Structure 1
Amino acid sequence: MGGTRVDTRKYEHLRGGVTDPVPGSLFALALSQGVSLAPAPGRELRFGRNRPQVDLCIGEDDLRVSRQTGLISHSGGGWQLANTGRLPIRLPGDQWLYPEHDPLPLVPGYTPMFVRGTRGREHMMEVYVIGPDGSCPPSLFDAVTQPPKRYWLTPDEKLVLVVLGQRYFAQEAFAQPLGRKQVAEEMAELQPDGEWTEKKVDRTIAAVRLRLNQDGVPGLTKDELVEPIGNMLNHNLIQALMSTSTLVPSDLSLLDGWD
């Protein structure tokens, strides 16, 4: 490997960057140890369960984790991540790197990665690649927090979407949107004078999907997805509204009083 051990007492995490960086260098941090490597052709960092034979140990007590899960190597002027284990490596943006995939270039900055083990455990490794100019992101600890972009909804749209996505807000496992018939029936109970039908529910939900799609939110139109689509359009809509805090679990209070 040819790297240097990192004092984990100095770096509890790598999200905020590292100090005294060498341009192009790599820092990697797991639960109990860390490693730094200067850029050089052929330089490698192996990680996995087998502590004696890897440079960075993750999932040491989890037999679902491969003895060598992955390999980070320097070639072509940059760092690349390869999956050398049996399980996929989860990366930001719901990206999965499988053993059969080509190595993935690591961009400058912070990249967390996860390997799923037994009983839902996830083992995390943090990687930070220093940019070619040796820069790290500035500290913003005292800056004003940027609020999330929340989307405007009419009262009827909000109520329909809360009914549609109530399983998500209740944090049920493997949640799915309610069917249009059930949404229409529940809306009729909540608003007896609203003349709610399945077609009216469809029009209400479709109007919100269209607005968000026009604002650049992906996965909300049929031509973006592959058949069979099923509930995926509404699933993606609910996820988009939750990720921006447009809808939150406390919105379930809108259903209070309905039996």
Structure 2
Amino acid sequence: MNPIQLIAITAIYLGFGLVEVVSGRFSKLGASKDDWKIDSAMLLLLLTLIQPGIVVAVNFLGMHFFPSQHNAYSYLPAWSMFLILLVADDLTQYWWHRLSHTSWMWPFHRAHHSAAYMSIRVVYRNNFFYYAAMPGIWISSILIYLGFGDVYVVYVILKLAVIIGAHSANPWDKPLYEMPVMKHVMWLVERTISTPATHYAHHALTMDDGIGHYRGNYGNFLFFWDILFGTALITRRYPPKVGLQDDLLYGKENWLAELFYPILKSKRSHSALGKEKVIIDEALAQEQ
């Protein structure tokens, strides 16, 4: 990871984290010991093993099989590289995320929704293989090899600032919605990038209140993809509860099964992570 990228992302992450701590919300999340384990483990695995490993692997293969293509497209203007990254990384992640809400992919994304709280801790909470196979990470690594490295640093800093903010326990958009002068600005903002209001809705415990929308609001950096593909719901409200219904009915899943399924499987009855792969939240994990 580029030093500037590392410093900037760490500062953003810690900045939002400090706000959660100072506001008192971080200590009131109600996270269990297993939540701490999976949140911390996936953060470390992604940032120190998965993403760097993919970048190194792509660079190695590129230098071995396609050495002439190293930095071959570094001549492209920065704005075009940025647009290419939006499509190659963020648009593919939208579809990867949307696909993960189908029954056969749900076990690899379930961990992200099993947290009964919203926080910066949830940003990287996912199954190991969800990230290891994510097309956007592989395609971005190829583009870095082709010469997009400097622009990628700027791109990923902006993207993660949006994603971290969208998961924060302190919704930054809420006070802006209450300011009449920001009415038209926020109309544009919430249709362009992911905000806490739209992303909280995606994590909602239920859709019965007209706020929850876990069949949509899949956007990560750009919420525009949801607008474009008809999966958006904008209410400017926040669901009272987030998490999964089956955890309430049958108890929390084993954190290692959530992290390393299908290598490790759950022994819980009625489990999407077990041998029988019983999907409880059919509305959550169905084909679109």
TM-score band by shorter chain is under 0.3
More strand per residue: 1
Higher relative contact order (CA 8 A, sep 6+): 2
Greater Cα radius of gyration, structure 1 or 2: 1
Q: TM-score, normalised on structure 1?
A: 0.22
More helix per residue: 2
